[in-house]
Amino acid sequence: MEVEVLEGIFDANEIIAAENRRLLDEHGVFMMNIMSSPGAGKTSVILAILEGISKEYSCAVIEGDIAGKVDSERIAETGVPAIQINTGGSCHLEAKQVNTALKRLKVDDLDVVIVENVGNLVCPAEFKLGEDLKVMILSVAEGHDKPHKYPLMFSESDILLVNKIDMIPLTDFDMAKLKETVTRMNPRVKIFEISCRTKEGVGEWIAFLKNVIAEKRKK
């Protein structure tokens, strides 16, 4: 019986995720879903993205957290619209919550929507939001063994950002082992090595992002 209930939840979410995708496609809006564990650097990555693309594209951010609004306040300081979704205990955002936020944002005025999902390496990977791109962040401090512990997240993501690479000399993090494991799980994944603190690798990531956004705008 529990399995049937879970299947019903996933089915309902997929229907609304498809509605979100149709809405975004209709207006030519690109949406990315950014996922990671707490502290991996989601908000820092988003701020770097906004710095890199907001002069060319009209952006907005949907912030997902169990409680609080610290991250959305940091985003709002940049002048970019931000909507906070507090899940009240749920470990992920669902398509219905994103749908409500998209309607409040008036997507016809936007080019790019960035979703910062709840900090978690399990649940967010299971729930589609209607995004064009699933972006996962792994910080060097978490270790190169995380794909073995959370395979679904690494298998589902389109992009893996390995953040805080400036810390590698202080750890036993093995980039080669990480890449070997992840690409075996997910051959289509693109991996970028970045540091939001030193800006190393950020330019390459932003350049890639601009290209995929432009491709959708052309369509």
DSSP track, 169-188: GGS---HHHHHHHHHHH-TT
Question: Which CATH number covers residue 50?
Answer: 3.40.50.300
CB-count burial class (<10 Å; 0-12, 13-18, 19+) for 106: exposed
Residue 154: per-residue pLDDT: 97
pTM, to two decimals: 0.91
Number of domains in the chain: 1
Query: What is the per-residue pLDDT across 90-138, written as a single tens digit (0 to 9) for each?
Result: 788 999 999 999 999 988 999 999 999 988 898 888 899 999 999 999 9
Average pLDDT, the chain: 91
Query: What is the per-residue pLDDT across 67-77, written as a single tens digit (0 to 9) for each?
Result: 666 677 888 88
**Domain enclosing residue 156, as ranges:** 2-218
Residue 2: per-residue pLDDT: 46
Query: What is the per-residue pLDDT across 14-24, written as a single tens digit (0 to 9) for each?
Result: 999 999 999 99
Give the residue-averaged pLDDT of 175-189: 98
The DSSP 8-state label assigned to residue 126 in this structure reads G
Residue 124: per-residue pLDDT: 87
pLDDT(203) > 80: yes
3-state SS of 45-95? HHHHHHHHHCCCCCEEEEEEECCCCHHHHHHHCCCCCEEEEECCCCCCCCH
Q: How far is CA 190 from CA 8, 57, 66, in A?
A: 32, 23, 29
